[in-house]
Structure 1
């Protein structure tokens, strides 16, 4: 029996075309909640940038954010894993030497290194957020805890950089940038922590996702559902492939499993 449902945000709950949660998704999640399911978010976004799901905010019981590095329900912190300071400094150095922009996600603030046009396009067009200011140096992050770094690099650059960050692992939900997170962190482990806190097993969970960073949770839960707009490797990891986010994918997936 499914007791909890975890939803990715971008490309799953929120359309890349409209930057909104479809009306059919809002109704479906409300119906799932009324049927007794707990509702959770599982996203690569940090909590500061979760500003596009206000239409369902009142239905949410907890959050897995920054790909599992920061998880909470209400005021209760369930997971808090941070990137080692030396790895943060190395990534800052790589940004300057290799000439790419990077976003450093802290508990207190978000810092952007070497901001360029690519970063502005990602922030504005993909994430639908206001532009961010450049950071003067890693000293501005002193005293903050860094959950995630999102550098605008291709896969070749990723392979070149990651061996120098021993305390980190990487994942992607876009070909344009990667997410660097504390080693041993992913969405599946975040969901495990949430499930343990609420007293049920991960096999009693359902998850919806569309990106490469969703593969771990789709494989781990009892019912992993890939959106129709997912890449092929994401679909291959899922138990079921529903329609796309713009074609009532959440509604159809929940109907398929008899949740609503």
Structure 2
């Protein structure tokens, strides 16, 4: 079936050590020249992804591991966390003195300053500036799409028990994402497919993380980066070179998309 859309993860796929890979501009320009729709599909917040999206000129995005999707500036899916869930999250993290960051569409906030020893983690992932606010809720309606709790894996089971409504995704030894349990990248991507009139089998997704697996299973062609862990590579239609070796470019060439 004809491919009409390419979805791309950011970290470990287009970005390595806080920098876009040299071939990223060539890839995006080439795909658009061929008439293909291109979307960034990431666990990052809108704020965190915006710099990459603007630099590359990508018009579609799936953020927060699927909780928010937008097309040419129009939101086509929004699944924020209910305020009562966020309030329980705040209560639990305060009780145990666990650093918590909350993400809206345009802010990253915390109720307590992030401890200095954890700043290198945020710097390594090029986090946007984090505001310290006095209270939550931030508004009358739900506005938090994702939270980061900066904890080691020994906390995962208890956090999941306390917040069963949430999807827990670990992206670093010292950090997890929490968001709506019904979300994953395939859910956000499907909102884009429906909006654009594209069938899932007409799409390619390229990524390197465990959060890419649900979308791998949903699209016509899935490509794992060479730097992906073995369980991720096993779920893909094919495996390309690593991010340092311009794996996205090589995949697009191999598939005849460029």
Asked if Structure 1 and Structure 2 have the same fold, meaning a TM-score greater than 0.5 normalized by the shorter chain, the answer is yes
The CA distance in 2 between the partners of 1:41 and 1:130, in whole Å, is: 18
SS in 2 for 1:146: coil
- For residue 163 of structure 1, the aligned residue among 157, 161, 164 is 161
The CA distance in 2 between the partners of 1:27 and 1:56, in whole Å, is: 12
- For residue 71 of structure 1, the aligned residue among 69, 89, 101 is 69
Q: Displacement of 1:235 after TM fit?
A: 1.0
After alignment, is 160-169 or 241-250 more displaced? Answer: 160-169
Q: What TM-score results when the alignment is normalised by the length of structure 2?
A: 0.91
Structure 2 match to 1:205:
203
The CA distance in 1 between the partners of 2:182 and 2:127, in whole Å, is: 29
Cα gap change, 1:191 to 1:118, in 2 (>3 Å): farther
Kindly indicate whether the alpha-carbon contact (under 8 Å) linking 1:218 and 1:224 is maintained by their aligned counterparts in 2: yes
Kindly indicate whether the alpha-carbon contact (under 8 Å) linking 1:149 and 1:181 is maintained by their aligned counterparts in 2: yes
Asked whether 1:233 is paired with 2:231, we answer yes
The CA distance in 2 between the partners of 1:182 and 1:237, in whole Å, is: 24
Structure 1 match to 2:39:
40
Structure 2 match to 1:122:
121
Structure 1 match to 2:5:
4
Kindly indicate whether the alpha-carbon contact (under 8 Å) linking 2:16 and 2:243 is maintained by their aligned counterparts in 1: yes
Cα gap change, 1:49 to 1:205, in 2 (>3 Å): same
Cα gap change, 1:257 to 1:108, in 2 (>3 Å): closer
After alignment, is 113-122 or 24-33 more displaced? Answer: 113-122
Runs of at least 5 residues in structure 1 that lack an aligned partner in the other structure: none
1:61-119: CA deviation from partner (whole Å, max 9, x where unpaired): 31101111111112321110011112101111222222221111123522124421354
Aligned length: 256
Kindly indicate whether the alpha-carbon contact (under 8 Å) linking 1:224 and 1:240 is maintained by their aligned counterparts in 2: yes
Structure 2 match to 1:92:
90
What does 1:248-259 align with in structure 2 at a 5 Å threshold?
248-259=246-257
Structure 2 match to 1:22:
21
Asked whether 1:111 is paired with 2:112, we answer no
After alignment, is 45-54 or 236-245 more displaced? Answer: 45-54
Kindly indicate whether the alpha-carbon contact (under 8 Å) linking 2:83 and 2:137 is maintained by their aligned counterparts in 1: no
Q: Displacement of 1:194 after TM fit?
A: 0.4
Structure 2 match to 1:172:
170
Q: Displacement of 1:204 after TM fit?
A: 0.8
Structure 1 match to 2:146:
148
Q: What TM-score results when the alignment is normalised by the length of structure 1?
A: 0.91
What does 1:54-69 align with in structure 2 at a 5 Å threshold?
56-58=55-57, 60-69=58-67
Runs of at least 5 residues in structure 2 that lack an aligned partner in the other structure: none
Kindly indicate whether the alpha-carbon contact (under 8 Å) linking 2:67 and 2:80 is maintained by their aligned counterparts in 1: yes
The CA distance in 2 between the partners of 1:153 and 1:6, in whole Å, is: 30
Q: Displacement of 1:14 after TM fit?
A: 0.8
